[in-house]
Every structure is written in structure tokens, then in C-alpha cells.
Chains A and B, each alone.
Chain A
Amino acid sequence: MLHSRSLKGLAVPLISIAAGFIIGAILMLMFGYDPIQNYQNLFIGSLGDIYSLGETLRNMTPLILTALGFAVSSKAGFFNIGGPGQYLMGWFGAIVFALNFPNLPTVLLIIGSLVCGALLGGIWSLIAGFLRAYFGTSEVITTIMLNYIALYFINFAVKNWLASKGSDSSPNIVKKASLNTEFLQKLTNNSTFNWGFFIALITVFVIWIYFNKTRSGFEVRSVGLNEVASLYAGVNVKRTIVVAMLVSGLLAGLGGAIDGLGNFQNISVSNNLPSVGFNGMAVALLAAENPIGIIFAALLFSALQIGGLSISVYSNTPSEIVDIVIASIIFFVGIKYVFEAALAKNWRKKQRKTPDGGMDK
């Protein structure tokens, strides 16, 4: 029973991934590009050598964290579309801290920056959680609005407070605040791979424990599955909502902070919301919000993005094709009912052939 359930759980993402790649291939064929060559380039460009691998792993770090953030709120029954804003706030917070306390000892500087970033992300999400818990305001709308407020506010802050006059970027943080050390650069052929990746993996493990072994995680799951029943059972639902949204924002904020310290080393004015926030959602959806699954889904999407860059280097295929593949994959995850129904039919057929294997349900 449990066995077949987990098998079915894997079937949907695998079918979706395959279907997404097929859609990408069809589109490439339509416009006269070679899908096999492109997919090959994509694979080599993302995992083919140690440098590419380093880039892919670095790129999946914030994806893991924004996906985890989305998953936590989603388990509590909320659709936190605020990943981009929370990520931005985290990035901003980490850079601000690192720029203001460059003389702190390395460990304190890094921990302080990460915590500051995570907290800003957490507070940003907490606003939506608080409004949802105490005023019933739809978190879908508030997080969308908070995204844009964060974007414009940070643009303003970078331009007016951090950057020198006329510049659109903050100065770089001191070298010791960076998560990207010489050791790792040597190891990965000067890629941007940094210690943040390991922080993300540890976080996955912590979140897994949180959901499956802790009291608070149980409360979050209960509230997410049935708010009324949880209320009736005595769970403090409002507090649980706030906690879940806080944790969710902390994670996305941490993702931004790690990217700030490990990848960018500064923060710039931007026209659009960072796509990593939305892609994190996509990762979580593909992984069905399972923390372990998120690692694999993030690896896939990160490889697509990094490999996509080399697609347009080695051919004139627009690299946006990988974003189309990603969107298609999520589309198929969304209509998973179709596959589940088909699989269930198949499963019932098999059952009928072996009457002993049946159960009374």
C-alpha cells in the first residue's frame, strides 16, 4: 500500500518532466532547431565538467531555499507567492549587514549577514501571515503586493543609500564576508560554487525533521490539511499560521542572503522581480513539497537554466527554450489528475487479474 503510493508519487513528476522535454523538442523542431543537439549541449553545459557542475550546484542553492520556503507555507495551506520579495529582502539584508560591519570576525560577519537577511525575508512574509491570521486577508494577494513593494523599496534604498551617486549598484562586500572561498574556486575551476550549497542541504534536512518529527511541524501540517478540525482540537491556528509564514519567509530570505554573499557580492537596482522566487515555487510544485524531492527538482531546474546558457552559445536557439520546458513541466504537474486517473485505471486492471491482492477498499 505505502509502497504503491510512493511509486505513484514518483510517476507524476517523472511523466511531467518527460512531457515537458517533449514539448520543448517539438517547439525546437517547429522552428528548425535540433532538439537532440540542444539537449546534449544543455546536459554538457550543466553537468559536463567540474566548472559547469559548480555553477549548477551554486544556482540550485537559492532554488532549494525558496522552494523550501514555498513548501512550508503550502503545507500550512497557504500560497506564498511572496518568494521573490522575501528573497530580495534577504539579499538586501545580508549585503547591508556585511557593508556596515566589515570589521567583525569572519564567522560573526557571515552569520550576522545571513541571519539579518533571513530575518528581513521572514518579517516580509510574516506581514502576510499576520494579516491572514488576524484579518483573513488573502495571502495570495498580499504576498504579490509585498513583492512589488520590496522591489521598489530596495531599488530606492540601493540607489539612495548604498550606491555612490549615479551608480545603480552597491559597493562590493569585503572579501572575507563572501561564501565563495579560494579553496572552492580551485576545486571547481573558478566557478561561483560556494559554501551556501551546504547550508542549503543542511536546511533541507532540518526542514524534513521539522515536518516529520516536531510538534510545531505536526501543527503546521494539521492546520494546512484542515484548519477547522485543528481549531477544534485545540491547536492555536492563528499562531501556527504566523509561524509557518515566518519560517517560509526565513527560508526564502536565507536563499537571498546566500546568493548575496556567495554569488553577487553586492546588490543592484533591478527592473523585474528575481525569477528565482517564482522558479522556487516551480521546484516545490514538481517535488510535491517534499523536502528531499526539492533537492532533485532544484538540481533539474538549475541544470536546465545553466545548461540553457550554453544552448545559445553553441547554437542560435534562444535560451528561453529552457524556461518553456520548465513551465511545461509545471503545467503537467498541475494536471496530474489526468495521469493519476490513468494510473489508477491501470492499477485497478491489474488488481482484477489478481483477486487475492485486493483489499476491501
Chain B
Amino acid sequence: MENDIVQMKNITKIFGSYKANDNISLKLKKGEILALLGENGAGKSTLMGMLSGLLKPTSGEIIINGKPAKMENPREAKALGIGMVHQHFMLIPAFSVLENIILGDEPLKAGRIDYKKAAKDIEFLAGKYHLEIDLNAKVSDITVGMQQRVEIMKALYRKANVFIFDEPTAALTPQEISQLMKITHALSEEGKSIIFITHKLKEIKEVADRCVVIRMGKVIDSVRVAETKEAALAEMMVGHKVNFAIDKKEVNQEKDIFKIEKLSVEAHGQLKIKNLDLTVHSGEIVGVAGVDGNGQSELIEAVTGLRKCKTGTIMLNGKKIQHQSARKIAEAGISCIPEDRQNVGLILPLTISENLVLKSYYKKPISNKGFLNYKKINEDGRRMIKQFDIRSQSEKELVGDLSGGNQQKVVVAREISAQPDLLIAANPTRGVDIGAIEYIHEKIMEQRNAGHGVLLVSFELEEILKLSDRVVVMHEGQIVGEIDPRDTSSEELGMLMAGKQQAEEMGEIS
């Protein structure tokens, strides 16, 4: 009992009529690394929001260092030694690293900020915990990995004893991940306690001592990691046996549907795509793996006509499509499920049926001499709601009122019903519930099985390996390797993603 640094007792949190956390209890020892495992929406972030003072529990008690803690705001949580490293970094891009770290706890000298003293203190901590950071750089100019180290340093600078890492590996390269693991162990060895929020089983095995599994707002179990198998953890997380296999039909994959040759694309004055070649055949799903920010978004934007190509050709069914408008490209037969459905894929304050015609409203029979036929729009809407199993009140319901999974179904319905020759899917299942994930995967497979091409861009390696017929790896705007998903492990894929050329690796192996 003595060395329980954090105790959360019977915590319940209700938002409106929705119970995000239901009677959750949790303990954390000094120096312990505790994994908090659960799916998106299971209630992990809500729970940690309360521990870090951002949210107040509806009922229940938080005890820190043996004393009941009333945490009304983040400042009080911080004073009790709780440090949160958010999934979406809480940094100010326009400020320097140093300013970001000291913000809110600035050392003063004669009324002004004592930047020298601050830098000295931080450099000492950085040496102790092997956190490599550049204090004078602007946050907008540093890598994602360094941004994370800045977040960790922010907590260290505030003398945190308990670190909450919220999905810390989501945007990191495998190398950066292993560096993070080292830092995590170093913190634990210095007696700091860590809560590691994740839904990735492998990371838990690698780093955690103990694992608490949460599902639908309730604690399912608390287990010692060393004694538990990954499959068992997965089952606890999801609530049923997880089936990793998917049905792949043999289809004719001879025809080149889509071909990119020597494509270069610029963004913000930098060359983001360099001389890239890529082909998608009929009946084929080509997975594009890679760490976020290596040119995937620019590739999609270039293909869909949202960004200018500097050089090179993009061909669909043998016809050049680059330098055409987004609308012309869509008409030529390319559909796209964008990564960010709420801001890019949908217009939330419009109705479901309006969103469903977002790419076809200007064509007959919906548009006639500049006027829209709303009767037809709503009829089509009703039909597609049925066909794609979109759970909603009516076709006139606003898309913003739907759940994440159903919103994504609206996007999928619109894009697939355009009967594209090439479907681009960018992280199509990010942030949707398990049921919808399976449904969306099925729909993507259907496209393939019908002999169309699919380009799947995803940061989830599992998803890529599961669906793709062929996987290419993007690094710094280039394709650095191609693998067969049937006989490649995610480790190998990880090496490629980190920029290791396939050729060198081959050389090392042979």
C-alpha cells in the first residue's frame, strides 16, 4: 500500500447521458510502467484526463501519495507531480523549444524571464535522461520525435513523478519508438512511474510491467504482462476472438489501371515527392506504408488534383490525368476516402443526402439548368443509407450528428458508388469502432475482387499487411522498397519505413 503513488477509486465520468467511465479503479506503484489498453473510445483518454486535472470525475476518488487529491485544474495535478504527454502534442509551433518548456513556470530575474537559468536547468535534465533536444529551434521546425521529447521534458522540468504517455508511438518511426522505450525505462529506473496508453499489443509486451484493460468504460482485467499472451490481451480488449485473416479471391491482376512515372511534387517550397514511380494493377490493393509526413498526403493530393505536379506523369487507364482539375480527375474514375473525414471528406452541417451528392450534384439528373432536384437527391440518399447500412434518423439528418463510424460510411458510400477504377483509401479506419472497421475493410476488398484498383495509404501496419496484395514503403518522398505482405514481418517493414534502403538490407543479408 505504502508505495502506491496513484490510486483511482471507483471513478465514474458521465458526459450528458453517456457514461465514458464506469466505476473504474486503478493503482500505480513507484517506478512501475503500467499499460492502459483499450480500443478507441474505450474511455482511456477520459480516465487520464481526470488524473491530469483536465476533467472532473462525476463520482469517485483520486488518491495521490496516500492523500485524497481534489484536482480542479491541470495546475493542481501538475503540483502533485502528474505529467501528461498528450497524443496530439500540446506545443506552440510559433514558440522556441525553450519557451515551450518553461511556459507557465518561467524563472524570473528582475521582472524578466531568465532564459539563461532555464536553459541550464533543462540541459542538466536532458543529460540525465538522454533526451536530445535543441532548445533554440522553433517547434514548427523540429521532427515529431523531438516534439515528443520536448513534451517529456516539459513534464520533467515540472518535477513530475507520474508520466502519462497517451498513444505515444502513433506518429513515430520504429527507431524513434525504440528510443522512446529507452527513455521510458530510464525514467522508471529513476523511480518515476509511467502510465502508457496504447492499443498496440507489441509495445505493451516490450515496455510494461502490468496492463489494465478497459472496454466500454469498464475495467475488464488487470494482468502481469510477462505472464499474459498477446492474443489473450487482444481478446480482452475487443471482447471476442479476433480474426486476423481476410478473404482474398484470386483475380486477374494483369492490367495496369493506374501508373505514376517520375512524379515530383512540391509543397511549401520543398520537394515532397521525388521522382516517384508506382503502378496499381486491376484487382490489386497496393498498400503504401510509411511514417506520417513522408509525402503520403502530397501524393494523394497530387493524384486527386488538389496539388500541382512539378514533373512526371500520372495515368489512369492509359490516359494522362495530371494537371487536370479535381473534378475532371474524379470523373475520369478516381475516388478517394480522405484521411480526415470530418474536415475533408464531409461537410458536417449539411444533411446526409447532400453529402452523398457532394461529388455529383452538378450533373444531370440532379442538376438541371442550374437548379437542383432535391426530390431526387433525397431519394438517392434514402437508397444509399439502406445499401450502405448508415445508421441514421433520416436522409435529412445532419452528418455532424452521426457517430464516427457512420460518418465514414457516408464517405465510403459516396466514393464507392461513383464506381471508380481506382479507389484511394487514406487511413480509412482511423478512429472508427471495430464494427465499422470490418465493414469498411469488406467494402475495400469488394472493390479489389471486382477487378478495380485500390491504393491504400495507412499508418497502421496491421491494416496494410492484412489487406494489401503488394506493399510499397514511402520515405522522404520516395518509394524505398516493395514487399510481399505474405512473407514480411512488421519489423522488416519498420526498417524500410525508417529509411533503410532495401538494397543495403539485401546486401547485409546475403
Chain A residues proximal to chain B, CB less than 8 Å: 1-2, 213-216, 218, 221-222, 225-226, 228-236, 348, 359, 361
Kindly state the separation between the CA atoms of A2 and B393 in the bound complex, as whole angstroms.
11
| Interface segment, one of B104-112, B128-136, B338-346 | B338-346
- The reply to whether B371 and A226 form a contact with Cβ atoms under 8 Å apart is no
Q: Is the interface of A mostly helix, strand, loop or mixed?
A: helix
Residue in chain A with minimal CB distance to B336: A232
CB distance from B467 to the nearest CB of A (A): 23
- The reply to whether A228 and B367 form a contact with Cβ atoms under 8 Å apart is no
Kindly state the separation between the CA atoms of A218 and B355 in the bound complex, as whole angstroms.
11
Which of A213, A215, A229, A348 gathers the greatest number of chain B CB atoms within 10 Å?
A: A229
**CB of B63 within 8 A of chain A?**
no
- The reply to whether A214 and B306 form a contact with Cβ atoms under 8 Å apart is no
Q: Which residues of A contact B393 (CB under 8 A)?
A: 1, 359
Kindly state the separation between the CA atoms of A32 and B297 in the bound complex, as whole angstroms.
66
**CB of B374 within 8 A of chain A?**
yes
Option from B336, B349, B359, B374 in Cβ contact (under 8 Å) with A213? B374
**CB of B181 within 8 A of chain A?**
no
Kindly state the separation between the CA atoms of A218 and B354 in the bound complex, as whole angstroms.
9
- The reply to whether A214 and B330 form a contact with Cβ atoms under 8 Å apart is no
Kindly state the separation between the CA atoms of A213 and B347 in the bound complex, as whole angstroms.
18
CB distance from A189 to the nearest CB of B (A): 42
**CB of B175 within 8 A of chain A?**
no
Residue in chain B with minimal CB distance to A216: B370
Kindly state the separation between the CA atoms of A278 and B401 in the bound complex, as whole angstroms.
35
Option from A215, A218, A236 in Cβ contact (under 8 Å) with B325? A236
Option from B344, B372, B401 in Cβ contact (under 8 Å) with A229? B344
- The reply to whether A231 and B350 form a contact with Cβ atoms under 8 Å apart is no
- The reply to whether A215 and B306 form a contact with Cβ atoms under 8 Å apart is no
- The reply to whether A213 and B358 form a contact with Cβ atoms under 8 Å apart is no
Kindly state the separation between the CA atoms of A348 and B16 in the bound complex, as whole angstroms.
9
- The reply to whether B396 and A2 form a contact with Cβ atoms under 8 Å apart is yes
CB distance from B436 to the nearest CB of A (A): 16
- The reply to whether B306 and A232 form a contact with Cβ atoms under 8 Å apart is yes
Option from A214, A222, A228 in Cβ contact (under 8 Å) with B358? A222
Q: Which residues of B contact A236 (CB under 8 A)?
A: 325, 327
- The reply to whether A231 and B306 form a contact with Cβ atoms under 8 Å apart is yes
- The reply to whether B343 and A234 form a contact with Cβ atoms under 8 Å apart is no
Kindly state the separation between the CA atoms of A215 and B354 in the bound complex, as whole angstroms.
12
Query: Which residues B315-342 have CB closer than 8 A to chain A?
Result: 325-327, 330, 336, 338
**CB of B304 within 8 A of chain A?**
yes
- The reply to whether A215 and B347 form a contact with Cβ atoms under 8 Å apart is no
Q: Which residues of B contact A215 (CB under 8 A)?
A: 361-362, 367, 370-372
Q: Could you tell me how many residues of chain B have their Cβ less than 8 Å away from some Cβ of chain A?
A: 32
Q: Which residues of A contact B26 (CB under 8 A)?
A: none
Chain B residues proximal to chain A, CB less than 8 Å: 16, 304-306, 325-327, 330, 336, 338, 343-350, 354, 358-359, 361-362, 367, 370-372, 374, 393, 396-397, 401
Q: Which residues of A contact B326 (CB under 8 A)?
A: 231-234
Q: Which residues of A contact B306 (CB under 8 A)?
A: 231-232
Q: Assuming A232-B326, A236-B325, is B372 touching A226 (CB within 8 A)?
A: no
Q: Which residues of B contact A222 (CB under 8 A)?
A: 347, 350, 358
Q: Which residues of B contact A1 (CB under 8 A)?
A: 393, 397
- The reply to whether A218 and B361 form a contact with Cβ atoms under 8 Å apart is yes
- The reply to whether B372 and A213 form a contact with Cβ atoms under 8 Å apart is yes
Q: Which residues of B contact A232 (CB under 8 A)?
A: 304, 306, 326, 336, 338, 344-345
Q: Assuming A218-B372, A361-B401, is B361 touching A226 (CB within 8 A)?
A: no
- The reply to whether B371 and A214 form a contact with Cβ atoms under 8 Å apart is yes
Kindly state the separation between the CA atoms of A5 and B16 in the bound complex, as whole angstroms.
19
Kindly state the separation between the CA atoms of A228 and B306 in the bound complex, as whole angstroms.
10
Kindly state the separation between the CA atoms of A359 and B349 in the bound complex, as whole angstroms.
19
Q: What are the nearest 4 A-B pairs in CB distance?
A: A234-B327, A233-B358, A226-B347, A234-B326
Kindly state the separation between the CA atoms of A359 and B397 in the bound complex, as whole angstroms.
13
CB distance from B495 to the nearest CB of A (A): 34
- The reply to whether B344 and A228 form a contact with Cβ atoms under 8 Å apart is yes
CB distance from A117 to the nearest CB of B (A): 25
Return 28 A-B CB contacts under 8 Å, by A number.
A1-B393, A2-B396, A213-B371, A213-B372, A215-B370, A215-B371, A215-B372, A218-B361, A218-B372, A221-B350, A225-B348, A226-B347, A228-B343, A229-B343, A229-B346, A229-B347, A230-B347, A230-B358, A231-B306, A231-B326, A232-B326, A232-B336, A232-B338, A233-B359, A234-B325, A234-B359, A348-B16, A361-B401
Q: Which residues of B contact A231 (CB under 8 A)?
A: 306, 326
Kindly state the separation between the CA atoms of A222 and B344 in the bound complex, as whole angstroms.
12
Q: Which residues of B contact A2 (CB under 8 A)?
A: 396
Q: Which residues of A contact B350 (CB under 8 A)?
A: 221-222, 225
Which of B336, B358, B397 gathers the greatest number of chain A CB atoms within 10 Å?
A: B358
Q: Which residues of B contact A225 (CB under 8 A)?
A: 347-350
Q: Which residues of A contact B401 (CB under 8 A)?
A: 361
Kindly state the separation between the CA atoms of A226 and B350 in the bound complex, as whole angstroms.
10
- The reply to whether A229 and B349 form a contact with Cβ atoms under 8 Å apart is no
Q: Which residues of A contact B327 (CB under 8 A)?
A: 234-236
Residue in chain A with minimal CB distance to B402: A361
Q: Which residues of A contact B372 (CB under 8 A)?
A: 213-215, 218
Q: Assuming A2-B396, A232-B326, A234-B326, is B359 touching A226 (CB within 8 A)?
A: no
Residue in chain A with minimal CB distance to B304: A232
CB distance from B328 to the nearest CB of A (A): 8
- The reply to whether A229 and B370 form a contact with Cβ atoms under 8 Å apart is no
Residue in chain B with minimal CB distance to A222: B347
Q: Which residues of B contact A359 (CB under 8 A)?
A: 393
Kindly state the separation between the CA atoms of A216 and B370 in the bound complex, as whole angstroms.
7
Q: Which residues of A contact B304 (CB under 8 A)?
A: 232
CB distance from A262 to the nearest CB of B (A): 31
Kindly state the separation between the CA atoms of A225 and B346 in the bound complex, as whole angstroms.
10
Which of B306, B325, B347, B359 gathers the greatest number of chain A CB atoms within 10 Å?
A: B347
CB distance from B21 to the nearest CB of A (A): 20
CB distance from B246 to the nearest CB of A (A): 29
Option from A216, A226, A230, A234 in Cβ contact (under 8 Å) with B330? A234
Q: Which residues of A contact B361 (CB under 8 A)?
A: 215, 218
CB distance from B314 to the nearest CB of A (A): 17
CB distance from A209 to the nearest CB of B (A): 8
CB distance from A71 to the nearest CB of B (A): 16
Which of A218, A222, A235 gathers the greatest number of chain B CB atoms within 10 Å?
A: A218
Kindly state the separation between the CA atoms of A218 and B346 in the bound complex, as whole angstroms.
14
Q: Which residues of B contact A221 (CB under 8 A)?
A: 350
CB distance from A278 to the nearest CB of B (A): 27
CB distance from A33 to the nearest CB of B (A): 44
Kindly state the separation between the CA atoms of A225 and B350 in the bound complex, as whole angstroms.
8
CB distance from A137 to the nearest CB of B (A): 19
Kindly state the separation between the CA atoms of A1 and B392 in the bound complex, as whole angstroms.
13
Kindly state the separation between the CA atoms of A213 and B371 in the bound complex, as whole angstroms.
6
Kindly state the separation between the CA atoms of A214 and B371 in the bound complex, as whole angstroms.
4
CB distance from B496 to the nearest CB of A (A): 30
Kindly state the separation between the CA atoms of A226 and B343 in the bound complex, as whole angstroms.
7
Q: Which residues of B contact A234 (CB under 8 A)?
A: 305, 325-327, 330, 359
Kindly state the separation between the CA atoms of A226 and B358 in the bound complex, as whole angstroms.
12
Q: Which residues of A contact B348 (CB under 8 A)?
A: 225-226
CB distance from A120 to the nearest CB of B (A): 25
Q: Which residues of A contact B367 (CB under 8 A)?
A: 215
CB distance from B305 to the nearest CB of A (A): 8
CB distance from A244 to the nearest CB of B (A): 15
Q: Which residues of B contact A229 (CB under 8 A)?
A: 343-347, 358
Q: Which residues of A contact B359 (CB under 8 A)?
A: 233-234
CB distance from A226 to the nearest CB of B (A): 4
Kindly state the separation between the CA atoms of A214 and B369 in the bound complex, as whole angstroms.
9
Residue in chain B with minimal CB distance to A231: B306
Kindly state the separation between the CA atoms of A226 and B347 in the bound complex, as whole angstroms.
6
Q: Which residues of A contact B305 (CB under 8 A)?
A: 234
Residue in chain B with minimal CB distance to A348: B16
Give 5 A-B pairs besides A221-B350, A233-B326 with Cβ atoms closer than 8 angstroms.
A213-B371, A214-B372, A228-B344, A232-B345, A361-B401
